[in-house]
Amino acid sequence: MKKSGEAEMEYTIKTSRPEEMIEITDMVRQEVRKKGVKDGIAILYVPHTTAGVTINENADPDVVHDILLGLKKAFPENIGYRHAEGNSHAHMKASVMGASCMVMIENGELKLGTWQGIYFCEFDGPRSRQVYIKIMKNDG
Protein backbone atom coordinates (compact mmCIF):
# COMPACT_ATOMS: atom_id res chain seq x y z
CA MET A 1 0.00 0.00 0.00
CA LYS A 2 1.31 3.47 -0.82
CA LYS A 3 0.44 7.10 -0.69
CA SER A 4 1.72 10.00 -2.76
CA GLY A 5 3.77 12.61 -0.98
CA GLU A 6 5.18 15.86 -2.34
CA ALA A 7 8.70 14.58 -2.66
CA GLU A 8 8.71 10.96 -1.60
CA MET A 9 6.52 7.89 -1.56
CA GLU A 10 5.20 6.52 1.68
CA TYR A 11 4.63 2.78 1.80
CA THR A 12 2.73 0.94 4.51
CA ILE A 13 4.06 -2.46 5.54
CA LYS A 14 1.96 -4.71 7.74
CA THR A 15 4.25 -6.99 9.70
CA SER A 16 2.94 -10.30 10.98
CA ARG A 17 5.47 -11.38 13.61
CA PRO A 18 7.22 -9.88 16.66
CA GLU A 19 10.49 -9.87 14.71
CA GLU A 20 11.04 -10.31 11.02
CA MET A 21 12.93 -9.01 8.02
CA ILE A 22 10.81 -8.33 4.94
CA GLU A 23 12.55 -7.89 1.62
CA ILE A 24 11.44 -4.67 -0.09
CA THR A 25 13.94 -4.54 -2.98
CA ASP A 26 11.25 -4.92 -5.66
CA MET A 27 9.18 -2.15 -4.09
CA VAL A 28 12.16 0.21 -4.35
CA ARG A 29 12.94 -0.98 -7.89
CA GLN A 30 9.38 -0.22 -9.01
CA GLU A 31 9.61 3.24 -7.49
CA VAL A 32 12.86 3.90 -9.42
CA ARG A 33 11.25 2.75 -12.70
CA LYS A 34 8.12 4.80 -12.10
CA LYS A 35 10.18 7.94 -11.52
CA GLY A 36 12.21 7.16 -14.65
CA VAL A 37 15.47 8.12 -12.96
CA LYS A 38 18.51 6.75 -14.82
CA ASP A 39 21.24 8.14 -12.61
CA GLY A 40 20.73 9.10 -8.99
CA ILE A 41 20.16 7.87 -5.46
CA ALA A 42 17.32 6.03 -3.72
CA ILE A 43 16.96 6.95 -0.06
CA LEU A 44 14.91 4.79 2.29
CA TYR A 45 13.81 6.05 5.67
CA VAL A 46 11.89 4.29 8.43
CA PRO A 47 10.16 6.70 10.88
CA HIS A 48 10.10 4.25 13.81
CA THR A 49 12.16 3.55 16.92
CA THR A 50 11.70 -0.22 17.02
CA ALA A 51 12.05 -0.99 13.31
CA GLY A 52 14.84 -0.42 10.85
CA VAL A 53 16.10 -0.94 7.34
CA THR A 54 19.22 -2.74 6.14
CA ILE A 55 20.88 -4.28 3.10
CA ASN A 56 22.03 -7.88 3.30
CA GLU A 57 22.00 -11.25 1.60
CA ASN A 58 18.81 -12.29 -0.19
CA ALA A 59 20.06 -15.57 -1.66
CA ASP A 60 20.10 -17.86 1.40
CA PRO A 61 17.10 -17.28 3.73
CA ASP A 62 19.16 -18.75 6.58
CA VAL A 63 21.13 -15.49 6.65
CA VAL A 64 18.01 -13.54 7.67
CA HIS A 65 17.21 -16.22 10.25
CA ASP A 66 20.73 -15.98 11.65
CA ILE A 67 20.76 -12.18 11.76
CA LEU A 68 17.55 -12.23 13.85
CA LEU A 69 18.97 -14.98 16.06
CA GLY A 70 22.24 -13.11 16.54
CA LEU A 71 20.41 -9.89 17.47
CA LYS A 72 18.27 -11.87 19.95
CA LYS A 73 21.41 -13.18 21.63
CA ALA A 74 23.12 -9.79 21.57
CA PHE A 75 20.13 -7.93 23.01
CA PRO A 76 18.21 -10.14 25.47
CA GLU A 77 14.59 -9.21 26.14
CA ASN A 78 14.73 -8.74 29.90
CA ILE A 79 17.91 -7.94 31.78
CA GLY A 80 16.58 -5.25 34.09
CA TYR A 81 16.05 -2.44 31.59
CA ARG A 82 14.28 0.68 32.92
CA HIS A 83 12.16 1.62 29.88
CA ALA A 84 8.59 0.95 31.11
CA GLU A 85 7.28 -0.05 27.69
CA GLY A 86 9.31 -3.26 28.00
CA ASN A 87 10.75 -3.18 24.49
CA SER A 88 14.27 -1.86 25.08
CA HIS A 89 15.72 -4.82 23.18
CA ALA A 90 13.71 -3.72 20.11
CA HIS A 91 15.00 -0.13 20.39
CA MET A 92 18.59 -1.41 20.45
CA LYS A 93 18.10 -3.75 17.50
CA ALA A 94 16.51 -0.89 15.53
CA SER A 95 19.50 1.34 16.23
CA VAL A 96 21.94 -1.35 15.14
CA MET A 97 20.14 -1.75 11.81
CA GLY A 98 19.58 1.97 11.38
CA ALA A 99 16.62 4.10 10.29
CA SER A 100 17.80 4.73 6.75
CA CYS A 101 19.80 3.41 3.84
CA MET A 102 20.88 4.64 0.45
CA VAL A 103 21.37 2.85 -2.85
CA MET A 104 22.93 4.30 -5.99
CA ILE A 105 20.93 4.20 -9.22
CA GLU A 106 22.83 3.56 -12.45
CA ASN A 107 21.30 3.00 -15.90
CA GLY A 108 17.86 3.07 -14.30
CA GLU A 109 18.69 0.19 -11.93
CA LEU A 110 19.55 -0.10 -8.26
CA LYS A 111 23.30 -0.65 -8.00
CA LEU A 112 23.15 -3.58 -5.59
CA GLY A 113 25.58 -6.46 -5.32
CA THR A 114 24.56 -9.85 -6.76
CA TRP A 115 23.51 -11.21 -3.35
CA GLN A 116 22.17 -8.01 -1.83
CA GLY A 117 18.57 -7.17 -1.00
CA ILE A 118 16.93 -4.33 0.94
CA TYR A 119 15.11 -5.39 4.09
CA PHE A 120 12.57 -3.74 6.34
CA CYS A 121 13.33 -4.97 9.87
CA GLU A 122 10.55 -5.37 12.44
CA PHE A 123 11.58 -5.75 16.09
CA ASP A 124 8.36 -5.05 17.98
CA GLY A 125 5.54 -6.37 15.82
CA PRO A 126 3.18 -7.18 14.49
CA ARG A 127 2.31 -3.62 13.53
CA SER A 128 1.52 -1.36 10.64
CA ARG A 129 4.73 0.41 9.63
CA GLN A 130 5.84 3.10 7.21
CA VAL A 131 8.77 3.29 4.83
CA TYR A 132 9.56 6.52 2.97
CA ILE A 133 11.31 6.20 -0.37
CA LYS A 134 12.86 9.21 -2.02
CA ILE A 135 14.34 8.92 -5.48
CA MET A 136 16.82 11.68 -6.29
CA LYS A 137 18.02 12.41 -9.78
CA ASN A 138 21.65 13.32 -10.41
CA ASP A 139 21.66 16.51 -12.44
CA GLY A 140 25.44 16.66 -12.83
Binding mask 14-53 for Zn ion (x = CB under 5 A): ----------------------------------------
CB of 50 vs Zn ion, minimal distance in Å: 6
Measured from the CB of residue 98, what is the shortest distance to Zn ion in angstroms? 17
Site for Zn ion in 84-103 (CB under 5 A): 85, 87
For 59, what's the count of Cα atoms within 13 Å in the CB-facing half-sphere?
A: 5
Cβ–Cβ < 8 Å for 3, 133: no
Listed ranges 7-15, 35-43, 77-85, 93-101: which one lies at the site for Zn ion (CB under 5 A): 77-85
Give 34's contacts (C-beta < 8 A, 6+ positions apart).
Answer: none
Minimum distance of Zn ion from residue 85's CB (angstroms): 4
What residues contact 39, with CB distance under 8 A and at least 6 apart?
Answer: 105, 106, 107, 137, 138
- The residue of the chain with the least Cβ separation from Zn ion equals 85
Q: Does 62 bind Zn ion (CB under 5 A)?
A: no
Between the alpha carbon of residue 95 and those of residues 23, 31, 91, 133, the distances in Å are 19, 26, 6, 19
Q: Could you list the residues that contact Zn ion (CB under 5 A)?
A: 85, 87
